[in-house]
Amino acid sequence: MANHFSALKRARQTTKRTATNRANTSRLRTALRTLRETIEKGDKAAAEKTYRETVSALDKAIQKGTLHGNTAARYKSRLGARVNAMK
């Protein structure tokens, strides 16, 4: 356990930051899973709506530093192609 005041403060900050990062990651993964499930169901209108929400979540993840920009672009590209390929 930390003894110095600065180390105690860093421990508190790390705990807070970890909780925030975990929440952001969870929100992103939920959005991706929801879109994939919607695509599997085959409803194109619902998939397009969910795709827009997922892209928003991806962009938010980039802003928060949860995800690298190129990774998010790859997700958007692949998921968009899957949505467009639906009947």
Q: pTM for the full model?
A: 0.84
Residues in the chain: 87
Residues contacting residue 68 through CB under 8 Å, at least 6 positions apart:
62
The CATH superfamily of 5-84 is Ribosomal protein S20 (1.20.58.110)
**What are all long-range contacts of 34-37, with beta carbons under 8 Å and residues at least 24 apart?**
35/79, 36/79
Over residues 27-66, the pLDDT tens digits come to 999 999 999 999 999 999 999 999 999 999 999 999 999 9
What residue spans define the domains of the chain? 5-84
Q: Six-digit token pair at 84?
A: 């467009």
